Amino acid sequence: MSVAFAGNSTTTPSREAGPLRVMIVDDSVVIRGLISRWIGAEHDMEVAASLRTGLEAVNQLGRINPDVAVLDIEMPELDGLSALPQLLAKKRDLVIIMASTLTRRNAEISFKALSLGAADYIPKPESTREASAADIFHHDLIQKIRHLGARLRRKSAVLSPPLAPASPAPAARGPVARPAAPAPAPAMHAPSPGSPSTRPFSTQAPKVLLIGSSTGGPQALMSLVTELGPVIDRFPVLITQHMPPTFTTILAEHLARSSRRPAREAVDGEPVKPGRIYLAPGGKHMRVVRSGADVAIALDDGPAVNFCKPAVDPLFTSAIDVWHGAILSVILTGMGSDGMRGGKDIVAAGGSVIAQDEASSVVWGMPGAAANAGICAAILPLNQIGAKVNRLFAGDRS
């Protein structure tokens, strides 16, 4: 996701690698306490501050100097959406994760926050007394903090100029450049030694476009569908984005506006036709099935797959029984490896997989898993995927 930053701020100078410093901003003492305990139990992160309002966060940001902020939407004095641009104006590389309950208003605000520079969002459970909801919130929050924070540090290490050889400097000269975090640096767009290998595209003409995405996906999807009009008009397009209920409703509306084509949450049993985008609804897996001579949506309320519901793999694997090898699948930015197993099955059936490259991904988990598994016919920056998809559906096989 491309992120716009306010003002003329600069990146805070890097410091020695250590635990990620997390600032919690929420007017609920219960939520602050809960998140603080979770973070305190992790070896690679620490609570930098626990604050009640957005105003406190803005005023104390320089002193606290966090890597990541978990920012509530509804707070007294200064709400999260208003605090967001002020925080980024003071520290442009601050990773901000918006937290909100599952209401339509908060979902719309979360999407607005993404356009203003928030790195991601996370839905808060209505009640932390519900064990399963609290467990999901716990798991997702810690993973988002870890992966988004690690990406920030890798980016900072790549952008930091190397020190020229010199005589030892006095300690008073200030901190030396810290080493990169123990993770690979973002891949460049040009192939390099050790880059994941690719395979030829299928010789079969694709009859359907399947897309899977997670962290960073909403912005990537809205960018991608603006280029896919010719494909959407002639072929069905089905998307699974890791996202809860209500949020998928809003995402479908955004996709419709971006693509200028019909887009909505899929309905169980409805026929799959060209000319529209079908989005897996939050909390349900989306599959496709044969229904006589037609293809229909089949929604599934079964257990989570790859810790996700909806998950990408059920869509990918179900499509093979319908379209066999005439499938083009795209795996966009996201945590985890969802879509990789389904992508393997698609390739084995004769279809093709495109993965978003690391440099343009918010998190290179899902596309990276597919790329490293050797199942991709192309690994492309986001701004090249749309043109490639259009060419493939127009008859290009290379």
pLDDT in tens, 103-112: 899 999 999 9
Query: CA Rg, the chain, in Å?
Result: 22
The phi, psi pair for 316, rounded to 5°, reads -60, -50
Residue 95, H or E segment: strand 95-101
Handedness of CA 264, 268, 270, 273 (dihedral sign): positive
pLDDT in tens, 365-393: 999 999 999 999 999 999 999 999 999 99
- 156 pLDDT band, cuts 50/70/90, is low
Report whether 355 contacts 331 (CB < 8 A).
yes
Res. 169: pLDDT tops 80: no
Q: What percent of the chain has pLDDT over 90?
A: 76
CA distances from 45 to 54, 99, 121 (A): 22, 18, 19
Report whether 333 contacts 217 (CB < 8 A).
yes
Res. 60: pLDDT tops 50: yes
Model confidence, pTM: 0.84
Report whether 184 contacts 359 (CB < 8 A).
no
In the block, tokens 């979360």 appear at: 110
| Cα 229 from Cα 59, distance rounded (Å) | 46
Active site residues: 214, 242, 338
- 194 pLDDT band, cuts 50/70/90, is low
- 134 pLDDT band, cuts 50/70/90, is confident
Return the pLDDT at 190: 39
pLDDT in tens, 219-250: 999 999 999 999 999 999 999 999 999 999 99
| Cα 385 from Cα 375, distance rounded (Å) | 16
pLDDT in tens, 303-323: 999 889 999 999 999 999 999
Mean pLDDT of the 43-61 span:
97
Residue 298, H or E segment: strand 294-300
- What CATH number is given for 208-393 in this structure? 3.40.50.180
- Best CA proximity match to 27, nearest among 111, 102, 90, 83: 83
CATH 2.40.50.140, applies to 20-159: no
Return the pLDDT at 166: 41
The phi, psi pair for 10, rounded to 5°, reads -125, 160
Least confidently predicted of 44-48, 68-72, 119-123, 167-171: 167-171
CA distances from 276 to 235, 238, 370 (A): 8, 9, 27
Mean pLDDT of the 145-169 span:
65
Return the pLDDT at 68: 97
Return the pLDDT at 154: 74
- 136 pLDDT band, cuts 50/70/90, is confident
Is 208-393 in the same CATH topology as 20-159?
Answer: yes
Half-sphere exposure at residue 146, Cβ-oriented, CA atoms within 13 angstroms: 16
Q: 3-state DSSP: the chain helix, strand, coil percent, rounded to 5?
A: 35, 20, 45
All structural domains of the chain with their residue ranges = 20-159, 208-393
Mean pLDDT of the 118-146 span:
85
- Best CA proximity match to 209, nearest among 394, 371, 384, 382: 394
